[in-house]
Amino acid sequence: AAVAIENARLHETLKRSYWETVRALTRAIEAKDPQVLGHSERVTNYALRMGQALRLSPEDMENLRFAATLHDIGKIAVEEQLMRSTNPQAYREALENNHPLVGMSILQPAEFLTPALAGVRYHHEHWDGSGYPEGLKGEDIPLSARIIAVANSYDNLLHAEWAGPDMDPEKAIHEINKRGGTELDPELVKTFLSVMGYPEIINTKR
C-alpha cells in the first residue's frame, strides 16, 4: 500500500512538472508576438464556458482544458524553423498547416495528456471537411477539437493582425455565426453565442 501511495505521488509530481513545462513553453511562444499574447488563456476560457454549458463530465472538462491551453504548442517548432529559413514568407503556410501534428508529437510522451491529444491535433479541421491536417468532416471531428475551433476562431477575429483594427466583439460574434455549418459546428456555434450573451443572433446570417 505504501509503495502504491508513493507511486501515485510520484506520478502526480511528474504530471505537475510536465504541465508547468509545457505551460512555460506556451507562454514563451506567445511572448514573441504581442498579437497572440494571452491567446491560449482566452481560448481556454471560452472553451470551458462552452463545456460547462454542454454539461461535460469533470474528466472531459479537464481534457478540454489541457487541449485548449496547449492547442498551439506546435508553433514553437514552427517559429524556430521560420527563424532558420531563408524564405520565411514562403515557408510559413506549410509550417502553420503542420503545427497541429507537431503539437501532438510534442505532447505524446506525457501519457496523462493522451485523452487531450485529439483536441490539439484536430482543432483546425472544418465542419464542411475543408480543414486540416486530415480533412475530417462533421462529427468525425472530435468534440473537444470542434469546441476549440469555435473559441480559437473568435479570439483570432478579435486579436489576430489579419482581422483588422475595426473588429469589435459584436462583429466577431456575427462572423462566428456566419461560419456555423461551414468552418464551425453549427450547434456549437449556438452554444457559444448563448454563453457569450448573444442568443438573439443565432441563425441570423449577417
Q: In whole angstroms, give the CA distance from residue 171 to residue 175.
A: 6
pLDDT given for residue 31 in this prediction: 73
The better pLDDT of the pair 159, 67 is held by 67
Tens-digit pLDDT profile for residues 166-187: 678 899 999 999 999 999 999 9
pLDDT given for residue 90 in this prediction: 54
pLDDT given for residue 164 in this prediction: 62
Residue 7: pLDDT band (50, 70, 90) is: confident
For residue 30, how many other CB atoms are within 10 A of its CB? 18
pLDDT given for residue 8 in this prediction: 74
How high does pLDDT run on average in the chain?
84
Given the C-alpha cell 457569450, which residue does it identify? 196
Residue 50 has pLDDT above 90, yes or no: yes
Q: Return the bridge partners of 141, or none.
A: none
pLDDT given for residue 166 in this prediction: 67
Given the C-alpha cell 514568407, which residue does it identify? 89
For residue 22, how many other CB atoms are within 10 A of its CB? 19
